[in-house]
Chains A and B, each alone.
Chain A
Amino acid sequence: MSPAAKSPPAPLEAGRASSGRYSGWRLFLEGLTGQRGWSRAWAKAAPRPRYRVVIVGGGGHGLATAYYLAAEYGIRDVAVLERGPIGLGNVGRNTTIIRSNYFHPENIRFYEFSLKLWETLEQRLNFNAMVSQRGTLNLFHTEAQRDLFTRRANMMRLHGVDAEALGREEVKELVPLVDLDNGRYPVLGGFLQRRGGTVRHDAVAWGYARAASEAGADIIEHCEVTGIRREGARVSGVETTRGAIGAEIVCLAVAGHSSRLAAMVGLQLPIESHVLQAFVSEPLKPVLDVVLTYGAGHFYVSQSDKGGLVFGGAIDGYNSYGQRGTLPMAEEVAASAVTLLPGLARVRVLRQWGGVMDMSMDGSPIISKTPLEGLILNGGWCYGGFKAIPAGGLTTAHLIARDEPHPFASHLDLRRFAAGRTVDERGTGPFPYAH
């Protein structure tokens, strides 16, 4: 073992982490001195008795909210409480896809805002999140589906978002692996959003944690919230496994477990928790350079920079808090994969895992105040939360700092269900099984 590997990370000064600015030049300089000058990316903070804002959940949305509160709205008296270590929840369990190909105008605006934030994220956070705009290609297999996708693409273009229609030959050129004439669901064409793509999800958690910590927020790991304190109609703090913490504002960003936290103050949400599986294959030579989705089933796949095919399908289909999937869905996903990409039939799956999703009753997220004053909810992401991290964080921070919803997220209010203003992207009514 080299001396460098043995030496412990440089101790942090009390207060803020200073990991310094990351750059190619710094990497070169550190290389000359055995890479011994690096310090922790973010400070391992201990909880203080009181904060202005306590964010429950150190996943993508919680960390992004803390970062934008400090960086955009000047609120630095913020703690992010995470039950485990940073990065092991849904932010590290998704299939890393970013896109803004939605139909409803308010959804297009919100997700396009997010996509634009992704485009400049690495420069802002000074962290390499490997944002790769390789394109997302949605295949269609019937005439009716072509009409549906055309309608969606036209709506996107009306709102200034890129969408292109591809014919069969263009699909084949872009993805030679696709079996256009597969026996069951021949491919008729596809829609491509070139600005869609993938991002390295772990780096998103680390990058936001580092930037939030640098900007003044406390990132407190291994601190589970066990209760929410209230004074009359107002929230006053949280009980945790590391003691009580007072707060003016408590923000829940615990997707998958929103109902459990809300139940601590007697609130029922329009959410069910379901498990979604994801899979990674053994590493392959480059075979797929877009994000590809299958239109005749629920299946999406991309190839990571390490070569593994990252893919997934639909939720298992019944309420679950278990972070593991069952085999019938694994079989269905594999069947979709082999129908669409028969050349991959003999590729072995390396890993499989599950994440617990907040499935909301209209398939759209919730960024909202709640009946308990000072309690803010960021949740209900179904399985589209990853792509929304920058916009979700920024608009949640806006709601906390300005006490009014961000114009791009006002449609995500919790009261929409009672008011009949649901954002039903799929158009299937009140069932928690949509995207």
Chain B
Amino acid sequence: MLRIPCPWCGERDETEFRYRGDASRERPAGDAGLTAFTTYVYARENRCGWHLEWWLHVGGCRRLLKVLRHTLSHEIRAVGGPGDSLG
């Protein structure tokens, strides 16, 4: 069981959240072309290690969180809002 420290609600069980995937991708400009959009929609770095990802707190404040989590140990290092850079 992951325990995710929501900046607004405090530490909660993973079952309150919905996973929304890789948060490191950035939508290309409208005229960036097919390859850029294919990469954006389909390609994933899928790293074994620290992974920046979206979690939606559906069972709490309903805000979208950005979480830095390790995909092997599941340790959570940082949590913030969508605009935060957690590096």
Contacts and interface: CB of A to CB of B under 8 A. Distances in A.
The answer to whether A and B come from one shared complex is yes
Interface of A: 257, 259-260, 263, 268-273, 317-322, 326-328, 361, 417-418, 430-432
Contacts of A321: 48, 71-72
B51 interface: yes
Contacts of B53: 318-319
18 contacts: A260-B46, A268-B46, A269-B43, A270-B43, A272-B21, A273-B46, A273-B48, A318-B14, A318-B69, A319-B46, A319-B71, A320-B72, A321-B48, A321-B72, A326-B1, A326-B2, A418-B34, A418-B42
Interface in B1-59: 1-2, 13-15, 19, 21-22, 34-35, 38-39, 41-48, 51, 53
Contacts of A272: 21-22, 44, 46
B83 to A, nearest CB: 22
B77 interface: no
Nearest to B35: A418
Nearest to A323: B72
B74 interface: yes
A260 B74 CA distance: 18
Contacts, number: 73
Nearest to A429: B41
Contacts of B47: 259
A269 B72 contact: no
Interface residues of B, number: 27
Report whether over half of chain B's contact residues are helix, strand or loop; otherwise say mixed: mixed
B74 A328 contact: no
B46 A320 contact: no
Given A272-B46, A319-B71, A320-B72, 20 more contacts: A259-B45, A268-B43, A269-B43, A271-B44, A271-B46, A272-B22, A272-B44, A317-B19, A318-B14, A318-B53, A318-B69, A319-B53, A320-B71, A321-B48, A321-B71, A322-B71, A322-B73, A326-B1, A328-B13, A418-B38
Given A259-B45, A417-B42, A328 B72 contact: no
A431 B2 CA distance: 22
Kindly list the 7 A-B residue pairs having the minimum CB-CB distance in the complex, ordered from nearest.
A259-B46, A270-B42, A268-B43, A318-B19, A418-B38, A321-B48, A417-B42
B44 A322 contact: no
A141 B46 CA distance: 36
A330 to B, nearest CB: 10
A321 B45 CA distance: 13
A263 B74 CA distance: 21
Nearest to A415: B38
Contact of A260 (B38, B42, B48): B48
A328 B38 CA distance: 34
A326 B34 CA distance: 38
B44 A269 contact: yes
A269 B43 CA distance: 5
B43 A326 contact: no
A327 B3 CA distance: 12
A431 B53 CA distance: 14
Given A321-B72, A322-B72, A418-B38, A269 B46 contact: yes
A259 to B, nearest CB: 4
Contact of B45 (A268, A327, A430): A268
